[in-house]
Amino acid sequence: MNRILVAFCVVLTFGSCTSKFQQILKNKDTDFKVKMAEKYFQEKKYSNAQQLFESVMPFVKGTPRYEELYLQFANSYYYDNDYQNAENLFKTFVEYFPNSPKTEDVEYMRAYTYYKRSPKAELDQTTTNRTIQLMQAFIDGHPTSPKVKDATEVIEACHAKLEKKDFNTASLYYNLALYRAAAISYGLLSDGYPDSKKSDQYKLLTLKAYYMFAENSFVDKQKERFAKVILEYNDFVDRYSESPLVAEAKKIKKQTDNYLNKLK
């Protein structure tokens, strides 16, 4: 019996709140609705704030408060984790108020919404690439901004995610015994991320993959393909002569020499 009473009270309270909000939404007093929109925004009731801001925007356009209210409208979506709508509104803010002192921050926030939507490395990285483009555009457009440091860190984080995705793809090829595809993919990693702390590892994996490709080839193809392994080894020692992985590369070189001697 008590459960039924509690449920009834909850429904009654919710219905009362909904009814009250609908009354506010239908109110013709723009100033009152603006006041309530800001109140809901401060209370973090973003869904209610969004509806009220949207309803008053046509009536505050051109007034001194339009810019301020528009930014609150955009932020209500951002704080509500609706990054797609926030991005659209941040973009429009920059178009509407290009000379605003807040435009610089809004441009950064627009780029950041893409970063917030960037998925795990295993998934499609379109938004990650878009983040890099917009953050770089922000840095180029505002080289003295205090947010340049943050933008640079976001770009670095995005590159790390792309690097991880490319590494996972190459490793998948290797594990599936698609050694030529793995060698090419590891090589692209090595060339594409030359400043990576793992660049020597990627080059060694390229060497290993080409070795496995040659070893598992038909005999009439092996000489040519082991010759490619030698080329990769020479490139490795030229680039990473101080790497602790040189010893492992030399083992692969020795095994390759043995194969080539047999094929003479």
The per-residue DSSP string of 117-168 comes to: H---TTS--HHHHHHHHHHHHHHHH-TT-TTHHHHHHHHHHHHHHHHHHHHH
Q: What is the mean pLDDT of residues 9-20?
A: 55
Report yes or no: 114 and 131 within 8 Å, Cβ to Cβ.
yes
φ/ψ (deg, to 5) at 102: -95, -5
Q: What is the mean pLDDT of residues 148-168?
A: 97
d(CA 33, CA 125): 41
Per-residue model confidence as pLDDT tens digits over 93-118: 999 999 999 999 999 999 999 999 99
If pLDDT is split at 50, 70 and 90, which confidence band does 6 have?
A: very low
The two structure tokens encoding residue 234: 């020479």
| pTM listed for this prediction | 0.86
CA distances in angstroms from 74 to 26, 85, 98, listed in the order given = 22, 8, 16
Q: How far is CA 14 from the centre of its chain?
A: 38
Work out the end-to-end distance of the chain between its first and last CA atoms, rounded to an integer number of angstroms: 93
CA distances in angstroms from 215 to 140, 204, 246, listed in the order given = 49, 16, 21
pLDDT at 73 over 50: yes
d(CA 136, CA 111): 9
If pLDDT is split at 50, 70 and 90, which confidence band does 3 have?
A: low
Per-residue model confidence as pLDDT tens digits over 172-185: 999 999 999 999 99
**Backbone conformation region of residue 178, classed left if phi is above 0, alpha if psi is from -120 to 50, else beta:** beta
Q: What is the mean pLDDT of residues 173-202?
A: 96
CA distances in angstroms from 153 to 89, 165, 170, listed in the order given = 24, 19, 26
d(CA 239, CA 40): 60
d(CA 147, CA 209): 42
**Cβ atoms within 10 Å of 48's Cβ, excluding its own:** 19
d(CA 263, CA 207): 20
Q: What is the mean pLDDT of residues 248-255?
A: 97
- Integer Rg of the chain from CA: 29
pLDDT at 171 over 70: yes
d(CA 227, CA 253): 10
Q: What is the mean pLDDT of residues 81-86?
A: 98
Counted residue by residue, the chain has a size of 264
Q: What is the pLDDT of residue 112?
A: 98
